[in-house]
């Protein structure tokens, strides 16, 4: 049985004191300013005369010794900023991404990298809390929600290779980078457990076996009312903001409230997606999903001045609901979880899956009566049922055909 290295990340919430949070904010802003300094230097020199990495490393060491606010940034974090900036340019030159740009103080996410795992010294001190060492900050508590390799008794093998501290509207978090050696799981028989998945809005996830996974609204009625009120306040206060003038503290406070509510909704989305995809990966070996062009589905219906669109507001509401479900992330989570268990995920072409009858395998006009109901207009069939489950059965059948044609090849996610 083949052995390979699996790499995963785990994100946990940090419990910082006010002094530690202030110092970490200063470190993150120092890293952002270092990025901007590198960007200015590269922009002035041009591609042909850009300085070497060795020269830049020496300049960064000198600046950390002689500039107080740059000295707050740990040496390894400063080297990580240089490495990340250089890799961004390499990807740009290879045509894999755009050129790196200036990082604004207000629009850029704060982050500090700890590239060496040996400096973290992670230990578990309580059922709910662990301790981690952060350079220039000391020992910090973090919320323990998952066993870490090399630390937990249940996961003794493996090691933590590094971490990244990030800040969002809900506070500071730490994302551990871990790796460990695992044995390639034996391939499972697809005929034993296979399922097709139809993603929707009314029914978020419908399975071909008749079950479905639903969720509550990501925000409660009270939270939705608070979000609407904050958005109206922001719109009102933006009217009195003069062009070129600094944003007022009152407007910043409203922005913070909006970001906090949206971050809370996103956290609930991720929690539901992880639990749902884990349950599906534990039950089935072959999972088939539609290959949707989500970017094209989210295009606006506004049109142009010469040819204005119709039902623009309805299409905008539909786009918001599709984006809130995060269908692409659901497939990515399913992909690595099913593969890690010895199964496979198959992407099925989307055309015809919702219009075809899953019993007689024919497409007749008018069979899709509504968003929720399907009634086959073929006189020899006449089957009726839920439209989402009908589509999921078609996806399951097409996935089995594609998997049988492709053989037993499984793409391993590391």
* Residues 202-227, mean pLDDT to the nearest whole number: 88
* Residues 126-147, mean pLDDT to the nearest whole number: 90
Q: Which residue has the higher pLDDT, 368 or 106?
A: 106
Contacts 24+ apart (CB under 8 A), 323-331: 323/298, 324/218, 324/265, 324/269, 325/199, 325/201, 325/204, 326/269, 326/273, 327/199, 327/292, 327/294, 328/294, 329/273, 330/199, 330/205, 330/273, 330/276, 330/277, 331/289
Bridge partner residues of 3 (DSSP) = 183
* Residues 274-298, mean pLDDT to the nearest whole number: 84
Q: What are the two backbone dihedrals, phi and then psi, of residue 75, each rounded to the nearest 5 degrees? A: -60, -45
Spell out the domain ranges in the chain.
Answer: 3-19+112-183, 20-102, 194-216+265-406
CATH number of 194-216+265-406: 3.30.420
Tell me, what's the pLDDT at 412? 36
Share of the chain above pLDDT 90, in %: 24
Q: What is the pLDDT of residues 68-91, one digit of tens each?
A: 888 899 999 999 999 999 999 888
pTM: 0.80
Tell me, what's the pLDDT at 83? 92
Strands 194-199, 205-207: pairing is antiparallel
Q: Is the dihedral of CA 213, 214, 219, 220 positive or negative?
A: negative
Cβ count near 110 (within 10 Å): 18
The Cα–Cα gap between 1 and 184 comes to 6
Tell me, what's the pLDDT at 145? 87
The Cα–Cα gap between 409 and 414 comes to 16
Tell me, what's the pLDDT at 310? 66
* Residues 192-206, mean pLDDT to the nearest whole number: 83
Token match 């010294």: residue? 121
* Residues 202-230, mean pLDDT to the nearest whole number: 89
Cβ count near 178 (within 10 Å): 23
The Cα–Cα gap between 146 and 304 comes to 51
Tell me, what's the pLDDT at 313? 76
Local confidence band at 411 (pLDDT 50, 70, 90 cut-offs): very low
Cβ count near 210 (within 10 Å): 11
* Residues 8-17, mean pLDDT to the nearest whole number: 90
Q: What is the DSSP string of 216-241?
A: --SS-HHHHHHHHHHHHHHHHHHTTP
pLDDT surpasses 70 at 125: yes
């Amino acid at each position: 049985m083949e052995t390979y290295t699996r790499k995963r990340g785990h994100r946990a919430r940090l419990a910082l004191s006010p002094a530690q949070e202030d110092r970490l904010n200063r470190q993150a802003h120092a890293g952002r300013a270092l990025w901007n300094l590198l960007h200015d230097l590269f922009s002035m020199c041009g591609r042909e005369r850009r300085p070497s990495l060795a020269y830049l490393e020496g300049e960064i060491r000198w600046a950390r010794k002689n500039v107080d606010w740059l000295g707050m940034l740990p040496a390894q974090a400063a080297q990580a900023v240089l490495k990340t900036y250089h890799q961004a340019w390499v990807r740009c030159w290879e045509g894999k991404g755009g050129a790196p740009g200036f990082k604004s103080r207000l629009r850029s996410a704060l982050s500090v990298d700890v590239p060496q795992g040996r400096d973290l010294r992670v230990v578990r001190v309580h059922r709910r809390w662990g301790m981690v060492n952060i350079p220039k900050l000391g020992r910090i508590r973090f919320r323990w929600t998952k066993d870490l390799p090399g630390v937990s008794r249940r996961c003794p093998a493996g090691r933590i290779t590094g971490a990244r501290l990030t800040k969002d509207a809900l506070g500071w978090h730490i994302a551990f980078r871990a790796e460990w050696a695992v044995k390639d799981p034996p391939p499972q028989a697809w005929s034993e457990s296979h399922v097709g998945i139809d993603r929707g809005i009314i029914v978020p996830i419908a399975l071909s076996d008749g079950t479905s996974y639903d969720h509550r609204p990501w925000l409660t009625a009270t939270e939705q009312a608070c979000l609407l009120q904050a958005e109206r306040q922001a719109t009102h206060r933006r009217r009195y903001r003069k062009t070129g003038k600094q944003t007022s503290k009152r407007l910043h406070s409203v922005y913070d409230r909006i970001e906090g509510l949206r971050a809370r909704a996103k956290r609930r989305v991720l929690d539901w997606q992880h639990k749902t995809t884990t349950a599906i990966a534990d039950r089935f070996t072959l999972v088939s999903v539609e290959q949707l062009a989500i970017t094209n589905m989210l295009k606006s219906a506004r049109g142009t001045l010469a040819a204005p669109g119709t039902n623009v507001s309805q299409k905008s509401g539909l786009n918001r609901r599709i984006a809130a479900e995060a269908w692409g992330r659901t497939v990515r989570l399913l992909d690595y979880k099913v593969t890690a268990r010895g199964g496979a995920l198959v992407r099925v072409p989307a055309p015809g899956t919702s219009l075809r009858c899953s019993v007689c395998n024919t497409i007749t006009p008018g069979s899709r009566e509504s968003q929720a109901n399907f009634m086959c207009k073929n006189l020899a069939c006449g089957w009726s049922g839920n439209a989402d489950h009908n589509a999921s059965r078609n996806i399951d059948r097409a996935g089995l055909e594609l998997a049988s044609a492709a053989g037993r090849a499984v793409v391993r996610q590391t």
